[in-house]
Structures are given as C-alpha cells and as structure tokens.
Amino acid sequence: MTHTTGGRGRHAEIAGAGFAGLTAAAALARLGWTVRVHEKGEHLREQGAGIVLWHNSIRVLEAIGAYDEAGSDSMTPPYYETRMHGQTVSKEDFGGLRWRTMTRPHLHRCLLEAARRAGAEIRSGSEVVAADPAGTITLASGETREADLVVGADGVRSRVRDSIGFEQDRWKSADGIIRFLVPRHKDELGPGEWDNVIDFWNLEPRYLRVLYVPCNERELYIALGAPSADEQGSRTPIDLDLWTSVFPELAPVLRSAAVAEDARYYGYQTTQLRSWASGRVALVGDAAHAMCPALAQGAGTAMANAYTLAQAVTAAAADSAAVAGALAEWERRERPITDRCQRRSADYAATRRMSQGNQFGPENLETAVYDPTDPRRHTAGAS
C-alpha cells in the first residue's frame, strides 16, 4: 500500500508499546508522521496469553498491513460454545462474522513489525512519566520532548493520564481471572469438539469458570475465573485438586497450568474518564477505557480507537487549536460505541449472565461488527 503524506512534517510521541500504542504508531507513520514510541520495559514483548479478535480489529490489522502475518498463526474456531455444569447450553457461530483467535505475543510481534515497517522508532527502556496538553512529554531520565501529538497508550496505570489529571472513575468487580498459555493436549483430552472456544461455567456450589480458547494447532489459552474473595480459587500457583475436581475433562491442560511460571490473578477493573483528550494529548486503550473482558473487546476497542485517532489528526491542520479540535471531534464520534461496550462488559461481569449462553446477539456484537476503517461509518444507514 502507498503511504499518504497527510501528516508529512508532523511528529508524534507515544507512551506505551502495547496493542494500542503500536497500532497508533503504525497508522500515523503510514500517514506520513514521524513517530517515536516509548516503552518502559527493557524488552519489547507482550506478557499476556491469548486473545479473541473480531471484525473491527481485523479491519485495522488489514489497514496497517499486519493481517497476513497475524492470520498465519491463528484460527477461527467453529463455534463459541457455552457449557453449564458440563452440559452444552449454546453454540454460536456468529453468522459469518469474521473472528480469529491467537496468542497475545503473536499479535504483539505482528503489530511491532508493522509499526517498524511503517517507519516508527521504538525505544525500549524509555518511560514517559508526565505529559502536558501543550504537546510535551517528560521521560524518567528528565529529558523532555515536544510533539504535534502525544498519545498516552500506557495502560490502566497511565502516567500520561494521571500527570495531566484527567477526571476518572474506577471500580473493580468481584471476579477476576488467572491466564495461561499451555499446549493444546488434544490427544489427551480425548473425543470432543476441542477446536471450539468453550466457556465452562460452574455456579453451584461455588462460582468457578474456565474459558478455553485454542489459538492455533499448538497453543491453548485458558483463563480460570474465580471471585477475588475466594482464596482457594484465586490462588496462584493454582490449586490443581480444586480445579480438576470441578472440571475433570480439562485435567491435561490444568496440569500444565499448575506448573506454569509467573501465574497471577487479575481482578476485573473498569476505568471511565470524563474526557479522552486534552490539548494535543489523547489517551487510547486501557489508559482511557479499561474494561472487563466479558465481550472480548478490550484490545478491539483499543486498536479501533488508535486507528481512527491517527486518521482524525492527520486530517487536521498542524496548529494546536486544530489538533485539539480534531481530538475532541474524534472522541465525540468514536466514544459512544466504546462506552456502550464498556457498560455491557461491566454488567456481564457483575451478573455472570454469559453463563446462560446465546449472549452474542446484535447488541453485544455491536462493537465486533464495527468497521473503523470505513469513512462512511457515521453516516445514516451505514453498517
């Protein structure tokens, strides 16, 4: 694809080399911006396990030239299956909607390479500790840098966000998960539809859940869900006897999870901001809208918003007022769909209604079917 030159001569500084930051970097660089990404870690890598991507994020991957590589080591499971107490209650195939499962490290590598191919500079061991709406960042070293655009993609504990003082509400849910990437163990699991995503629920006599997500022919993502107040269920390393007594059919993969290193329990958290932008500074991803993973759209909304941000600011003039105005208009247009997804995700986490099955109707797939690359997406009647 030929890169346009709409951003020629303009420069962006991005805090965070996760999915949102790298998407923004690739999109901006392809539009002619010079881009520098700062990652506080010494190594450029993704710490998570697996991920489900939908049409919205697939379209972004295509637009930034990363989809062929991402699709090469991923899969589309036949069904999203929900089981309650060992019995199948639904199988959903989403009627032809595009979706893929893959490992988070694989997706991260693909986004990193896309950003580098586009010309973005990626600096590891470089932490942004503060930003100013006028368009400056301060690094942990004390160095300051100026930019036409600053992007805070530095996660739920964003230093960019907190240094400026964005107003926010944050609340935690009762539940959380322990994430693992383990071998598939298909032969040991025995007969069954083990290429499906399978959401195993157990509500009586206690709530425990296993989300089973095959990522490719070799690797399996499993997320073990339990209330934070359940000391035994949220314990790491996991209590193998407990989990295999509730989900005996998953014993081979649970044994692999029991010996995994660096296992950690993550409580569900929602962060809602009064605004996503201030002056020349914009927030994307968990820095702006951390959400519970019920609808598998944390990464999808992050990537979609990072992509549309790049488009919005490139169309604006280079002066401060024009950039600030473009960011305000970007938020006005793109935020409502993310807000609705965030609210639904929090509701499902609180009520555990995903256990009922058949939950991916039109309302809950609103974000998944959204195409952030379609210039007509906000016109009446656009899909």
Per residue, what are the HEC states of the chain? Answer: CCCCCCCCCCEEEEECCCHHHHHHHHHHHHCCCEEEEEECCCCCCCCCCEEEEEHHHHHHHHHCCCHHHHHCCCECCCCEEEEECCEEEEEECHHHCCEEEEEHHHHHHHHHHHHHHHCCEEEECCCEEEEECCCEEEECCCCEEECCEEEECCCCCCHHHHHHCCCEEEEEEEEEEEEEEEECCHHHHCCCCCCCEEEEEECCCCCEEEEEEECCCCEEEEEEEEECCCCCCCCCCCCHHHHHHHCHHHHHHHHHHHCCCCCCEEEEEEEEECCCEECCEEECCHHHHCCCCCCCCHHHHHHHHHHHHHHHHHCCCCCHHHHHHHHHHHHHHHHHHHHHHHHHHHHHHHHCHHHHCCCCCCCCCHHHHCCCCCCCCCCCCCC
Phi, psi of 183 (to 5 degrees): -65, 155
Number of alpha carbons in the 13 Å side-chain half-sphere of residue 124: 8
Read off the pLDDT of residues 200-225 as tens digits, 9 standing for 90 and up. 999 999 999 999 999 999 999 999 99
Phi, psi of 118 (to 5 degrees): -75, -15
> Parallel, antiparallel, or unpaired for β 34-39 and 121-124?
parallel
- Residue 30, pLDDT score: 98
Contact 197, 79 (CB under 8 A): yes
Stretch(es) of the chain classified as CATH 3.50.50.60: 11-74+100-170+269-369
* Fold classification of 11-74+100-170+269-369 (topology level): FAD/NAD(P)-binding domain (3.50.50)
CATH class of the structural domain 172-267 = alpha beta
Higher pLDDT, 347 or 1: 347
Q: pTM for the complete prediction?
A: 0.96
Q: From CA 129, how far away is CA 32, in angstroms rounded?
A: 27
Q: From CA 298, how far away is CA 288, in angstroms rounded?
A: 11
- Residue 238, pLDDT score: 98
Stretch(es) of the chain classified as CATH 3.30.9.10: 172-267
Q: Does the pLDDT at position 261 exceed 90?
A: no
Tokens of 210: 């296993």
- Residue 1, pLDDT score: 30
Q: Does the pLDDT at position 382 exceed 60?
A: no
User: What's the first-to-final CA gap in the chain, in angstroms?
Assistant: 25
pLDDT band at 3 (very low <50, low <70, confident <90, very high): very low
Tokens of 121: 């500079």
Mean pLDDT, to the nearest integer, of 56-76?
Answer: 97
Q: Does the pLDDT at position 16 exceed 50?
A: yes
Read off the pLDDT of residues 267-323 as tens digits, 9 standing for 90 and up. 999 999 999 999 999 999 999 999 999 999 999 999 999 999 999 999 998 788 999
Contact 227, 271 (CB under 8 A): no
